[in-house]
Structure 1
Amino acid sequence: MNHPVRTRVAVVGAGPAGLLLARLLHLSGIDCVVLESRDRAYVEQRQRAGILEQGTVDTLRRAGAAARLEQQGMPHDGIELRFGGNRHRIDFPALADGCRVWVYAQTEVVKDLIALQLEDGAPLYFDAPVHAVQGADTDTCVVHYTHEGQTRALSCDYVIGCDGFHGIVRRAVPAQATQVHERTYPYSWLGILADAPPAYEELIYAHSERGFALASMRSPSVSRLYLQVPNGEHPAAWSERRIWDELDLRLGADTTWRLNRGPITAKSVLPMRSWVTEPMRHGRILLAGDAAHIVPPTGAKGLNLATSDVTVLAEALIRLYDSGSAELLDAYSDTCLRRVWRAEHFSYFMTTTLHTAPGQSSFDTRLQLSQLDRIATSPHAASELAANYTGTVPHDSGRNS
């Protein structure tokens, strides 16, 4: 295998952000190389997000990566809120200018993009961990990595960090050159995959005195469900029967409706945090996706923020190489951070409104129920939630109230 020693753009990380960026650059004739530390099987099996905004779907279509999405993705026109014995549906098309969301697992997006990349895209190397990134403040960056037992060096104009919070690229930026903002939440999610047909057509977000619950799905035959649990909880503490019984209680099962039960095929605990580093650029290093920001999953924003980042970045790099103008590239961080902070606020709002904090007072609970009731009774509040959830709210606009 011949390894290039020079490319315009080095993309570190073969998650959805890195793969989509590489695809967009390839379609515009900009050469790049993608380096991924893990093997292909691991990358294609990582369980992550499953909700795609309208803008994400539109970008995948433009990239020629939506064939299976069109066949297997499940368009959703709303979500249901359950609280205080009430059920209320948020109608996305009616409240958000006809927009909707799609249920299509991140694992499937990654599989689609990998297949395209290997078929006709730029070089993509698995099992290729990056050890160092040098030259961010010079005219040329050098990425040092290992592949097939050999240490190699790749020179490039720009390095794009799509390798997540723990990745090497973020750590190559001097700490004094960034400002970090962070919030850790006092609860986690126990998430399961189950071979059970969903007993609901759209996602259910449930506020309960027993804690939050979310009923989602991955396909017409696979349910994806979540329970709020204490931080530090171990999945082994929850038997299958205990999980299903607790889900029924929190989701308000009754004689007319309850979950379909089936074998649980995956079970894990997910901590909840909000985190942003800014700026998202340092010299010739640019960060995207989880390398730059993390949101709690309550608002379904993680994958969609990553997609938005690389869409903006691809446009900026295309402009640079087509016309020599660095205007969009210089504005990359500011452009993305407007959307990032809107999504951070929405995710915080959904998380703190729907979860029960340890030691929460009855006053705080009543405030949560009042907020949920306002969404159910105020077209303005419902429209605000729908616009944020579908990603159609202006990136620098107002507050979620």
Structure 2
Amino acid sequence: MHTTVGIIGGGPSGLLLARLLHNAGVDCVVLESRDRAYVEQRQRAGILEQATVDALRAAGAGARLDAEGLAHEGIELRFDGRSHRIDLPSLAEGRRVWVYAQTEVVKDLIALQLAEGGPLLFGAEVRAVEGVETDRPSIRYAHEGREQTLTCDYVVGCDGFHGVARTAVPESERTTYERTYPYSWLGILAEAPPVYDELIYAHSERGFALASMRSPAVSRLYLQVPNGTDPADWSDRRVWDELDARFSLGEEPGWRLERGPVIQKSVLPMRSSVTEPMRYGRLLLAGDAAHIVPPTGAKGLNLAAADVIVLARALADRYATGSTELLDAYSDTCLRRVWRAEHFSYFMTTTLHTDPGQLPFDTRLQLSQLERIATSPHAAAELAQNYAGLPL
């Protein structure tokens, strides 16, 4: 089988790229190692930037998002016994964010791909990517018990940090910059209405906490915990009690999280990673295959979407005009945005979390930075513009 673009990975980046290419008249095949049910149930990000929402709408995948997604115009910072709201539209040139789970984005894109797009093969385990230095690279994969080969003009790796695509770039030709953090997140999904209609980011001597949501009836909440934490060590009651303690504003009357059944509990390690360049020959990397951010800045899914928006434009231009100018600039174009998002995510993470070896001096620096955001329009605007997402 031959196609113009072979896409490895049927997550949001691979599926969005396939949709954008379909709309541009560029053929592609998507190979996903897992089955459809698994892909549609993977719990990941839930915050969409303005540019991501605009891209989904333009791709024809915005109907359910507009009907069910929750538009948010701000976030709340809690620190030192008080709260401060960041108003996104007024500080970020009208941009806002949406709460719409990655699982729902994936469901929408899969439905469109199966109805209108090129082949989307589930259970297609990629074994190797070969010939990327030639003009006819190939992907060897196993599907339905048979070894098969897909040849293409370009291969796009949307299969994550541990995927085949990233390791197909010779070690001598790639550099990976990494940072691991000395804490993790314990995340829960609970059948309980959110206590507040926007996200709350809490700095506390007990550690960081985040109150988010998936819908008006389902809350998504996180606690900073030590690395290596076993979710089984945290009973539901212990989780709720700790969340209440970290979000507490002391004398605030009547404020308490709405409790309900915990339907999912997991621990998420925190790390940052960037692999450069994002192109090697006819192989292009996108999303987690090229970069990972800690979730504090809500950038992972949005960075992946930005990558494939840039890439789709470049591929469409290549086949419309014959020019490779945009493709040749793909890595540099994306990396400028990637490093800005990496820095913002690092800033949010280190400002709001308590390091295990943190000194009182360090805590005072954090509080000083949060105070500056609360009192300086310039500092607040810097946070809002990065949070809502820089324009593409």
Q: Deviations over 1:134-172 (max 9, x none)?
A: 001111101000111111001101100000011111111
Residue 392 (structure 1) aligns with: 390
Match of 1:94 among 79, 90, 93: 90
| CA–CA distance in structure 2, aligned partners of residues 163 and 310 of structure 1 | 13
Q: Which amino acid aligns with 1:279?
A: P
Asked if residue 75 in structure 1 is aligned to residue 71 in structure 2, the reply is yes
Residue 264 (structure 1) aligns with: 262
Deviation at 1:392, TM superposition (A): 2.5
Deviation at 1:256, TM superposition (A): 2.0
| CA–CA distance in structure 2, aligned partners of residues 128 and 179 of structure 1 | 28
Q: Which amino acid aligns with 2:166?
A: R
Deviation at 1:28, TM superposition (A): 1.1
Residue 372 (structure 2) aligns with: 374
- Secondary structure of residue in 2 paired with 1:298: helix
| CA–CA distance in structure 2, aligned partners of residues 120 and 156 of structure 1 | 20
Residue 51 (structure 1) aligns with: 47
| CA–CA distance in structure 2, aligned partners of residues 60 and 391 of structure 1 | 15
Percent identity (aligned)? 74
- Secondary structure of residue in 2 paired with 1:182: strand
Residue 172 (structure 1) aligns with: 168
Residue 317 (structure 2) aligns with: 319
Residue 30 (structure 2) aligns with: 34
Deviates more, 1:331-340 or 1:24-33: 24-33
Asked if residue 194 in structure 1 is aligned to residue 190 in structure 2, the reply is yes
Asked if residue 364 in structure 1 is aligned to residue 348 in structure 2, the reply is no
Q: Which amino acid aligns with 1:352?
A: T
| CA–CA distance in structure 2, aligned partners of residues 391 and 227 of structure 1 | 24
| CA–CA distance in structure 2, aligned partners of residues 198 and 184 of structure 1 | 31
Residue 159 (structure 1) aligns with: 155
| CA–CA distance in structure 2, aligned partners of residues 100 and 24 of structure 1 | 23
| CA–CA distance in structure 2, aligned partners of residues 105 and 251 of structure 1 | 23
Asked if residue 255 in structure 1 is aligned to residue 253 in structure 2, the reply is yes
Asked if residue 204 in structure 1 is aligned to residue 200 in structure 2, the reply is yes
Superposed, 1:87-126 pairs within 5 Å as 87-126=83-122
Deviation at 1:255, TM superposition (A): 3.2
Q: Which amino acid aligns with 1:145?
A: Y
| CA–CA distance in structure 2, aligned partners of residues 347 and 25 of structure 1 | 30
Residue 281 (structure 1) aligns with: 279
| CA–CA distance in structure 1, aligned partners of residues 95 and 20 of structure 2 | 24
| CA–CA distance in structure 2, aligned partners of residues 170 and 83 of structure 1 | 40
Match of 1:133 among 125, 129, 136: 129
Deviation at 1:29, TM superposition (A): 1.1
Q: Which amino acid aligns with 2:344?
A: F
| CA–CA distance in structure 2, aligned partners of residues 119 and 50 of structure 1 | 25
Match of 1:354 among 333, 337, 352: 352
- Secondary structure of residue in 2 paired with 1:165: coil
Residue 330 (structure 2) aligns with: 332
Residue 398 (structure 1) aligns with: none
| CA–CA distance in structure 2, aligned partners of residues 325 and 14 of structure 1 | 28
Deviation at 1:80, TM superposition (A): 0.1
Q: Which amino acid aligns with 1:190?
A: L
- Secondary structure of residue in 2 paired with 1:372: helix
Q: Which amino acid aligns with 1:27?
A: N
Q: Which amino acid aligns with 1:282?
A: Y
Match of 2:288 among 274, 290, 299: 290
| CA–CA distance in structure 2, aligned partners of residues 214 and 232 of structure 1 | 20
Residue 245 (structure 1) aligns with: 241
Q: Deviations over 1:194-246 (max 9, x none)?
A: 00000101000000000000000000000000000000000001000000000
| CA–CA distance in structure 2, aligned partners of residues 215 and 389 of structure 1 | 16
Q: Which amino acid aligns with 2:386?
A: N
Asked if residue 309 in structure 1 is aligned to residue 311 in structure 2, the reply is no
| CA–CA distance in structure 2, aligned partners of residues 79 and 350 of structure 1 | 13
Deviates more, 1:326-335 or 1:251-260: 251-260
What are the ranges of 5 or more consecutive residues in structure 1 without an aligned counterpart?
396-401
Residue 147 (structure 1) aligns with: 143
What TM-score do the two structures reach when normalised by structure 1? 0.96
| CA–CA distance in structure 2, aligned partners of residues 368 and 60 of structure 1 | 36
Q: Which amino acid aligns with 1:263?
A: P
| CA–CA distance in structure 2, aligned partners of residues 372 and 199 of structure 1 | 23
How many equivalent residue pairs?
390
Deviation at 1:98, TM superposition (A): 1.0
| CA–CA distance in structure 2, aligned partners of residues 99 and 8 of structure 1 | 35
Deviates more, 1:248-257 or 1:218-227: 248-257
| CA–CA distance in structure 1, aligned partners of residues 177 and 365 of structure 2 | 26
Q: Which amino acid aligns with 2:341?
A: A
| CA–CA distance in structure 2, aligned partners of residues 162 and 113 of structure 1 | 15
Match of 1:233 among 229, 236, 258: 229
Deviates more, 1:65-74 or 1:247-256: 247-256
What TM-score do the two structures reach when normalised by structure 2? 0.99
Match of 1:19 among 15, 19, 30: 15
